[in-house]
Amino acid sequence: MTRRNEILISLITLIRKEIKRYLRIWVQTLVPPAVTMSLYFVIFGSLIGPRIGTMDGLDYIQFMIPGLIMMSVITNSYANVVSSFYSVKFQKSIEELLVSPMPNWAILAGFIMGGVSRGVLIGCIVFCVSLFFYPSFTIVNPLLTISVLFLTAILFSLMGFINAIFADSFDDISIIPTFVLTPLIYLGGVFYSINILPDIWRNISMANPMLYVVNTFREGMLGVSDVSIPFALAMIIFFIVILASACLFLLHRGIGTRQ
């Protein structure tokens, strides 16, 4: 067997292990986003939404759907990788990987694909839930939608990986999602268009990276956006390259993984 085949088998093994992990605890991983998003659709979509009227010329619930899907994808892909990789560090089962001939890139790819699969799966679940509340929803640009879905899941899985590398306690893996990620997502155009903000807040919002992710996805699903799509896509890909390089550097140096 060639070395390439061996690496491929080891990568598939790790991805299978990661997927089995979150499917085994599906009540903790798959059900909560569906329940939470249903509540958002009921309260903000069906009850409050009609009183708000339209946003960027769209029904409020229709405007909200891409934002809520993106919110679920971001939080779940991040959470999957940060909790899984920190757990293997905590339990020392990372040694199973480190003593094996798996190259660092395959270890990274295995965890990232695990996070991406969960993020995309949750995105699909939330989309299905949204159809109960807005059955006539149609996707304007499926290619852009799917591309952004995967790119976003990759980007935030990589962020989760870096968080896990530096984490020394379970507190460390909840600080960034709670105090950084969540506020940025909520202020990143999930529930509103930045065009309704005063100039100063609109300019400040332009510095929020979540705005680009959410709006690019909204462009794919609905054909409306507050930002330049080529610029946003370029920035997402740029940060994926930077973060993936950083992860590989950290793994190569053994920072957070080897003594």
DSSP at 195? G
User: Does residue number 92 form part of the binding site for other proteins (CB under 8 A)?
Assistant: yes
d(CA 124, CA 205): 28
104 near other proteins, judged by CB under 8 A = no
Q: With CB under 8 A as the contact rule, which of the stretches 13-21, 36-44, 45-53, 183-191 interacts with other proteins?
A: 13-21
Binding range to other proteins, per CB under 8 A, among 2-10, 139-147, 187-195, 237-245? 2-10
Q: Out of 34, 103, 137, 233, name the contact with other proteins by CB under 8 A.
A: 103
How many of the other CB atoms lie within 10 Å of CB of 77?
31
Considering only 53, 101, 135, 230, the residue that binds other proteins (CB under 8 A) is 101
Q: 134: alpha, beta or left, given left = phi > 0 and alpha = psi -120 to 50?
A: beta
12 binds other proteins (CB under 8 A): yes
Task: Name residue 55's beta-bridge partners.
Answer: 58
Q: How far apart are CA 90 and CA 84, in angstroms?
A: 10
Nearer to other proteins, 142 or 254 (CB): 254
Q: Which of 43, 96, 128, 169 binds other proteins (CB under 8 A)?
A: 96
Q: Judge contact between 60 and 182, C-beta under 8 A.
A: no
| Residue count, binding to other proteins (CB under 8 A) | 32
Candidates 68, 71, 88, 185; binder of other proteins (CB under 8 A) is 88
3-class secondary-structure state, position 55: strand
- The answer to whether 23 contacts other proteins (rule: CB under 8 A) is no
168 lies in the site for other proteins, by CB under 8 A: no
164 burial (CB, 10 Å; 0-12 / 13-18 / 19+) is buried
Asked whether position 93 contacts other proteins by CB under 8 A, the answer is yes
CB 70 within 8 A of CB 86: no
Is 157 in contact with 244 (CB distance < 8 Å)?
Answer: no
Residue ranges binding other proteins (CB under 8 A): 1, 3, 5-7, 9-10, 12-14, 16-17, 20, 87-88, 91-103, 253-254, 258-259
